[in-house]
Structure 1
Amino acid sequence: MNVDEMRDVREFRAGAPTPDRARLAEGRDRLSGAAARGRGRRLRADWRFAAVGAAAALTAVAVLAAGLGGGGRDGARRTVPAAPGSAREVLERAASAVERADPPPAPHAGQWVYEKRISADPGIWPKSAAPPEPEPEPRERWVRYADPRFENGREGDDRSLRERLRFLDELPDDPAAVLKEVRAYYPSGKGGLESEGEQDMGALHVMFKSQPMPPQALAKLYRALAAVPGVEVTDHVRDLAGRDALAVGHHEKGQVVRREILIDPNTYQYLGDRQIVVKDYKRSYPGAEDTPDRPWNAGDLMSQNALLATGVVDHKGDRP
């Protein structure tokens, strides 16, 4: 395996649930990523790849999200909770809207999924000691649809795009059954320390990034999201690209960090995700003495990811 292939493997599994034995290495991973960013690279966020709705084409399809611009990080802090009890209604409207959409062309073996995204992760240092954070820039990447490296049974919880799309096609109609299957497909790997709601959100956020997402599968994921305990919708959120969005997360007692799925309020297509701190705390890294504690304050954004474009292409390096 050459250097490019090794990088592809690392990036592909970037959003996979972390096994228990690797939790102690998290601080070192973030330090390495931050150092790499200083050499012109960007720190990878906790995800694999994202999906928005796709428009029909023969061998390529692209969805370009409007409105790249400033204010994404600041605007993401200005949130207004949706009306009480409206989360299920919002997500049912989203499911009903997307399931009527025409399905995008399905990729086949030999093709690649293109994506253009923008990500931000402030890293592990306290703000007072952190190096200057460069403005996030869009990045492009290509993922092989049928990748034998992720279909050989030796990559743990990794799945190829082909495997994930097949799984999505076979999801049941019942939202509770969907949650059960998604949790089993992507277990948390945290030794039962997470609540059920945290497990649901962790598994769902990986599945939402499967591309190209069949409309029926996307509708089932929205209905499953509505069944997560304590689900809430926050409107008037700005994503990292400055776009208006609905943030769907869940609230529970003792929650410290909230994972949210970002959805377009008009088309109900997937825009990205973010992690927001809801309670002041200090994060430590046991076993990594060279990694300093990282204090976080309520309202801090730990990570943000925004999908700008995606499509199916015939060759790596092609653009839709």
Structure 2
Amino acid sequence: MNVDEMKDVREFRAGAPKPDRARLAKGRDRLSSAAERGRGRRLRADWRLAAVGAAAALTAVAVLAYGLGGGGHSGAERTVPATTRTVPGSVKEVLERAASTLERADPGPTPHAGQWIYEKELSATPGMWPKSTTQPEPEPKPRERWVRYADPRFENGKEGDDRSMRERLRFLDELPDDPAAVLKKVRAYYPSGKGSTQSEGEQDMSGLRVLFASQPIPPQTLAKMYRALATVPGAEVTDHLVRDLAGRDAIAVGHDDKGQKIRREILIDPHTYQYLGDRWVVVKDHKVSFPGADDIPDRPWKAGDLMFQNALLAAGVVDHKGDRP
């Protein structure tokens, strides 16, 4: 693989949160390393393949655009309600409303080989690294990238879990209607691997989070994914709207498992039910130590801290790399 190819692979996997130094001290988390270096490896719970953002529906010019709706920020703030408005209903009721709405939407055009997926997003890992002599993390800035819809390097049988967008969308297009059958297929598509300690709910959430970052997902398919998400063991909806990194109101659907320290959340627009991004929320006070690194202090985390945030600002299908919808 030459320099240009390596650059494209990094862009394909850009946005994945970097492993913390505790993991680096142990040889790096294998899949976070794969996300940075472009190596095809098996999915793990903390792997985020952020190749492109998901979209529920496209306009006639195959573009999905979200307004920022407020200034983004990277501080590790508490997850207090963004508004007094509540999110009524159980996770199944909320996601059924979303699915029913999406089923009535225009499916939009389908991308084809030779086209590119455009994405603009905002990401932040506030406080991921322990405080040291390094400069504090700067305020996040919107990032644009272009990914081939059909990339032969990810369709050669050697890519492991690094599937092209065309492959992922074909998989999604074949999802059954039954939520249990959807989760079964997702587990098979993104297995947790031998020796994994993941619970079934954690594995479900890991695979779905990867697939939500596919583009463009037809609204009818997104409806199936929402119904499947509602049946993930441990899935819960936050009873109030939260603010995403871009300052927008969002419905937060996360996975709560006994003993876990971090909740992974999918963020959904409360009006259109489009995918807005995701984030990691600390749910249990703990600290991270760095064995063998005496100069690095322990990193404390408090319940409510935001460890990782990603906000999809705009996405679309274009004919050439560098084009914008």
Change (3 A) 1:292 1:280: same
Normalised TM-score (structure 1): 0.84
Give, in whole Å, the separation in 2 of the partners of 1:125 and 1:166. 38
Aligned with residue 298 of structure 1, among 299, 303, 316: 303
Aligned with residue 178 of structure 2, among 174, 178, 185: 174
Specify the alignment match of 1:318 in structure 2. 323
* Greater CA drift, 60-69 or 296-305: 60-69
Aligned with residue 237 of structure 2, among 233, 240, 244: 233
Residue 318 of structure 1 aligns to a residue whose secondary structure is coil
Give, in whole Å, the separation in 2 of the partners of 1:277 and 1:296. 7
Specify the alignment match of 2:63 in structure 1. 61
Amino acid at match of 2:225: L
Distance apart, 1:192 and its partner CA: 2.1
Specify the alignment match of 1:250 in structure 2. 255
CA contact (8 A) 2:263 2:280 kept: yes
CA contact (8 A) 1:55 1:63 kept: no
Give, in whole Å, the separation in 1 of the partners of 2:188 and 2:8. 25
Change (3 A) 1:46 1:132: farther
Specify the alignment match of 1:3 in structure 2. 3
Specify the alignment match of 1:158 in structure 2. 162
Point out where structure 2 has 5 or more consecutive residues left out of the alignment.
37-46
CA contact (8 A) 1:45 1:305 kept: no
Q: Deviations over 1:81-139 (max 9, x none)?
A: 96786111000000111121101211000000000000001364324766312110000
Q: Flag as ranges the 4+ runs of structure 1 deviating above 4 A.
A: 27-30, 70-76, 80-85, 127-130, 284-293
Amino acid at match of 1:64: Y
Residue 62 of structure 1 aligns to a residue whose secondary structure is strand
CA contact (8 A) 1:72 1:243 kept: no
Distance apart, 1:306 and its partner CA: 0.3
Percent of pairs identical after alignment?
69
Specify the alignment match of 1:148 in structure 2. 152
Aligned with residue 125 of structure 1, among 106, 123, 129: 129
Give, in whole Å, the separation in 1 of the partners of 2:31 and 2:172. 34
* Greater CA drift, 68-77 or 233-242: 68-77
Specify the alignment match of 1:203 in structure 2. 207
Change (3 A) 1:310 1:287: farther
* Greater CA drift, 175-184 or 77-86: 77-86
Aligned with residue 265 of structure 2, among 257, 260, 264: 260
Q: Deviations over 1:179-201 (max 9, x none)?
A: 11111111234732111111111
* Greater CA drift, 219-228 or 288-297: 288-297
Change (3 A) 1:282 1:151: same
Residue 25 of structure 1 aligns to a residue whose secondary structure is coil
Change (3 A) 1:220 1:9: same
Amino acid at match of 2:79: R
Amino acid at match of 2:10: R
Change (3 A) 1:263 1:293: same
Specify the alignment match of 2:108 in structure 1. 104
CA contact (8 A) 1:55 1:104 kept: yes
Distance apart, 1:45 and its partner CA: 7.0
Amino acid at match of 2:138: P
Q: Deviations over 1:205-226 (max 9, x none)?
A: 0000110001121001000000
CA contact (8 A) 1:54 1:63 kept: no
Q: Deviations over 1:239-267 (max 9, x none)?
A: 00000001001222112110000000111
CA contact (8 A) 2:128 2:307 kept: no
Residue 303 of structure 1 aligns to a residue whose secondary structure is strand
Give, in whole Å, the separation in 2 of the partners of 1:191 and 1:291. 30
CA contact (8 A) 2:71 2:247 kept: yes
Aligned with residue 28 of structure 2, among 15, 25, 28: 25
